[in-house]
Structure 1
Amino acid sequence: MSEFRGFDTAEIRALASSLRKLGTDARGMHRDLAGVLTEAAQLLNGKPATTDPLLQPLVGQLFVMPSFFGGPSSMPGTLDSELGDMAGSMERRSKQLDECKILIEHGYAVDNALLFADEVAPNEKHISDALKKLHELDGKDFGTNGNRDDLEKVKSMLEGMTAAEIDAFFDRVPEADLKRYNDLMNDTGDSGWKWWDENGLPAGERRDHLSMILGKLGPAHWAKAQAAFPGMQPGFDTTDAFLNGKNSQNGAEAKGMHWGIPSEPLFAPGTDGKEITAADIKQGRFADCWYIASLTSTAQVNPQFIRDGIVQNPNGTINVRIWDEDGNKRWVTVTPDLPLDKNGDIMGASANGSSWPAYYEKAFALAYGDDKGGAPDGKAGDKKYDRAERGNYGAVEWDNTDKAPPYVTGKDSDSIDNNVPSLRKSFESGHPVIVATGSGDDVQKKGDGIWKDTFHTRHVYYVKGFQGDNIVLGNPWGPPNKDIVATPEQYKEFFSDPQALEVPK
């Protein structure tokens, strides 16, 4: 049993044991070396016994604290805890590998990416119990109190599973059982006269539950999960870009839209997101300038806040921090595939060779709950374009400046007076600020005459700063679109509905 996928777990355990012993021996070495350096310092009449910054703290450190008191804070004694931690991880991973082998021998499939996870080893009984419990929902009489308690039992079992257990569960579970579970979770209506019924799961619980599943599940089973739970993947076939084959404002082509893994990494190589800058963000070809302007303006004021809101999971999925329509913070989990055009380029938002804004956008498409319709010029009332939606990219097109900020920062934005001094005061107080343009052909023609292609009606911009008395507005379309520099009079004529965002400290 010990040899599996080229790894001999018995040998790995033996190595872990040796590392643990070496860590323990390091305490004696620490004590002896500290004694030598301390005696040397005394004989040298206070002159340094060593110039090595790693060894200098050992001078005078003759008593080595046990590990349960924190142990030494300098080399070599620190090897005790470091090698001990490494040994513990190797032992856990060996047990994980052995137990996964048993699951596979019993007919389960476990994704290769999960075989070496540093987690509690899988228990086959957890999987079989969950399969049985889920199947029992078929045709069950839920009694007089509704089905919520039954659903919560299944939910609790699934959420208590390890990644390997969840993956094995999805390998074995019938698609019909998953789809039934989804239908029951989403049906929160009572049964008419039994007003005390509690049916389905509240929207927030459903969202968190789906994120938990997706955050653990191996890539081989993502498609099965998304087919059963539509709330895991937003659609894009009702967007203006898909329906028209282009962005309705700037005309950027959007043909051949399909799901795919982008060539751009999550963050620029070697940065780990430390170089997030607002100026790099590009809206892309979906009509969600109001959201991208909110995201960009927040990144300009507090880039670390935006960086802290996105995390990649070991299975390749991505967690994004979003506040929902009720003001509750949610970590929405999405798969790494994105809408791409016929050339394989990201359809939505991006940032100078990195893809992190597109995942913010994808999570927002799943979480946004305030859409009441909206359409490009000339399409108002056309149900193909102008309709209330939820859980897809179409829902996040064409909305008002005050709608996106609460989903980005967790706080409502404040409407401020529509003049440059008021905007300057809010901006210089540390608030991201966004503004909107009006509509109409005359406004568009006049704006084109001043700012050319970077100006557009029914568009949202963000405040980048000021030049003397003039205001500088950034276009969420991003580079190469130039900033708009407007006089106070021009601002008043062309822009309105300014919103000041509140970013948590």
Structure 2
Amino acid sequence: MTYHRNNWRQVAGYAAPFVPGGRAILSTVDMVGELADAAGLGRLHYVRGGRPQIELPWQPPGPPPDPQRADAAGRQAWDLLFSDEQKYGARALLDHVGNLLIPLPPAELDMVVRRFGPQGLERWDALTHTEDEHGEPAYDWRRQRELFGWLLRTVSPYGAMLVGTAMPCSQPEYEADCGCDDHGWVLPTGPFAQVDGAYYTESWQRVSGSTEPMSWQDMDQGRFGTCWLLTGIQAVVQANPQHAPRHLRTEANGTVTCTLYDGGRPVDITVVPDLPYGHDRLWGAAGHSTDARYAETWPGYYEKAAAMFHGGYPAIADGGYTCEALELLTGRSAHEHGLDLRSPWLVHEIADRRARGHAVTAGTHGRGDDRERLAGGRLAASHAYFIKDVDVAGGRICLGNPWGDGADRRMWECWLTLAEAQTYLGAVDSVPLR
């Protein structure tokens, strides 16, 4: 089993030679664990090259459904969706459909969505993007998000998965960079978030326990180039542990809503709870394990919501700027609070910002490839970090790496002197959270 937290298997393996019969006992436990692992993997809802669609328990809010009313509203909405948009106008047709379906209780709306099936939902999706004579879509981006979010939050878990599959613009897409076909989407069975205890990584690094269900310690970047986003999340959550719980929530039907900011205005992005999967692991951000049965999933949903905001995983997977991440996450301008790297008081200024509740991030120089190493192998080039700690007396700052405990210790938390920071860092950004 690959679950890292409180790694009992590691401790047992270390102690086995010193216990009579210890190796035999551990071998038996390993065999049982492997069988359990195989059975657990077989129960994962994973679709290679597609998205899972399964029935899950759901208690709809509101009154019991009236099948006749749902059928009548669904028939009228279907006729409107497939009317001539050139004659009536796509915006008018969509508004009429909304007027018919919005008053329906969740159970009846779910009946309509199921009856629409892929054909009706694909038409509904396409109609929102139909352009008028001025090249403007029937629904602008924000209105589209409202439509998809309302549907995904209201219907049953199966209905939400159907919407996520049949309405392409309601969910982000990704393409793996490895060129194989062993990729798709999985419904994780691991926890959304939990409070950590101290644990040991696979390389025997002890990690102090966090006291929050969504902690900055819970981050493994995964295979997308989203360090710029994930370090922003870590910096924000470290500065204000309540930020993530207030901006990321699970809905009653299992979908996940994340509040991001567009030009300072909050935007709720609701996504289906499936995550990118391939090579028997979660492909994107996760907690301390990439095993979909055990990994804390909240980092992956933050990443998925940001991908939806930007138009797909490719739009965020090739890198970005931490100042953009801070603005996306908090709605506050990072440009107004950037620090001068040439200042001899840089370490003191960073310490002052952190003391006043700022989230602080940094980025290294480079040409877009984080496989290049700097500072004697302690830093990755063209990579984003958050300011994990400051030693004012020693004139040093500590950079936290979103690669998490998958990196070796010196890259996981790298201490830099003022001279090294001024040599290797290209920018230091911050935003206030208090």
Q: Same fold judged by TM-score > 0.5?
A: yes
Q: Measure how far apart 1:181 and its partner are.
A: 2.0
SS at structure 1 position matched to 2:260:
strand
Structure 1 residue 431 corresponds to structure 2 residue 354: no
Over aligned residues, Cα RMSD in angstroms?
3.0
1:204-244 CA distances to partner (integer Å, 9 max, x unpaired)?
A: 1111210111112223334432333112221111xxxx123
Distance 2:414 2:261 in 1: 31
1:295-374 equivalent positions in 2, closer than 5 A: 295-324=233-262, 326-343=263-280, 345-352=281-288, 353-368=295-310
Shift of 1:476: 1.2
Pair 1:496-2:417 in alignment: no
What are the within-5 Å matches in structure 2 for residues 353-432 of structure 1?
A: 353-368=295-310, 390-414=311-335, 415-418=338-341, 419-432=346-359
State the match for 2:227 in structure 1.
Answer: 289
Deviation at 1:176, TM superposition (A): 3.0
Alignment of 1:103-114 (within 5 A): 113-114=57-58
- For 1:202, give the aligned amino acid: D
Residue 232, structure 1, aligned to residue 170, structure 2: yes
Question: What is the Cα deviation at residue 471 of structure 1?
Answer: 0.7
1:193-272 matches, cutoff 5 A? 200-237=138-175, 242-244=176-178, 256-268=182-194
TM-score between both structures, scaled by the size of structure 2: 0.73
Q: Taking structure 1 as reference, are residues 425 and 141 closer, same or farther at Cα in structure 2, changes over 3 Å only?
A: closer
Structure of larger gyration radius: 1
Question: CA 1:473 to 1:395, structure 2 compared with 1: closer, same or farther past 3 Å?
Answer: closer
- From 392, 399, 405, the equivalent of 1:473 is 399
- The verdict on how the C-alpha distance between 1:348 and 1:316 changes in structure 2, with shifts beyond 3 A counting, is same
Contact preservation (8 Å) 2:373, 2:380: no
Q: Compute the displacement of 1:434 (Å).
A: 0.7
Are the counterparts in 2 of residues 420 and 491 from structure 1 also a CA contact under 8 Å?
no
Amino acid across the alignment from 2:108: E
- On the 8 A contact 1:320/1:331 being kept in 2, the answer is yes
Higher relative contact order (CA 8 A, sep 6+): 2
Q: Which amino acid aligns with 2:254?
A: G
2:78 matched to 1:134?
yes
TM value normalised by structure 1: 0.63
Once the two structures are superposed, residues 109-145 of structure 1 have per-residue CA deviations (whole angstroms, 9 ceiling, x without a partner) of x96734x43412323314422431332232436558x
Shift of 1:305: 1.2
2:195–2:213: 8 Å Cα contact kept in structure 1?
Answer: no
* Partner residue in 2 for 1:382: none
SS of match in other structure, 2:324: coil
Q: Deviations over 1:135-166 (max 9, x none)?
A: 2232436558x432331221233333222112
Q: Which residue of 2 aligns with 1:464?
A: 388
What residue in structure 2 maps to residue 186 of structure 1? 129
Quote the Cα distance in structure 2 between the aligned partners of 1:303 and 1:495: 26
CA contact 1:274–1:307 (8 Å) conserved in 2: no
Aligned residues: 349
Question: Can you give the 5+ residue segments of structure 1 that lack an aligned partner in the other structure?
Answer: 1-109, 246-253, 369-389
| Residues 431-450 of structure 1 mapped to structure 2, 5 A cutoff | 431-439=358-366, 447-449=374-376
Please state which structure has a larger fraction of its residues in strand: 2
Change (3 A) 1:332 1:441: closer
Give the whole-Å Cα distance in 2 for the aligned partners of 1:181 and 1:150: 10
Contact 2:390 2:397 in 1 (8 A): yes
> Does the Cα contact within 8 Å between 2:373 and 2:381 map onto a contact in 1?
no
1:207/1:177 Cα in 2 relative to 1: closer, same or farther (>3 Å)?
A: same
Evaluate the alpha carbon distance shift between residue 126 and residue 494 of structure 1 in structure 2; reply closer, same or farther with a 3 A threshold: same
Distance 1:480 1:113, change over 3 A: closer
Higher mean displacement: 398-407 or 205-214: 398-407
Match of 1:107 in 2: none
DSSP 3-state at the match of 1:323: strand
- Counterparts of 1:260 and 1:179, CA distance in 2: 22
Deviation string, structure 1 residues 83-132 (Cα, Å, up to 9, x no partner): xxxxxxxxxxxxxxxxxxxxxxxxxxx96734x43412323314422431
Q: Quick one: percent identity of the two aligned structures?
A: 24
Deviations 1:439-458 (A, max 9, x none): 15999877251xx3x51111
2 CA distance for matches of 1:277 and 1:165? 39
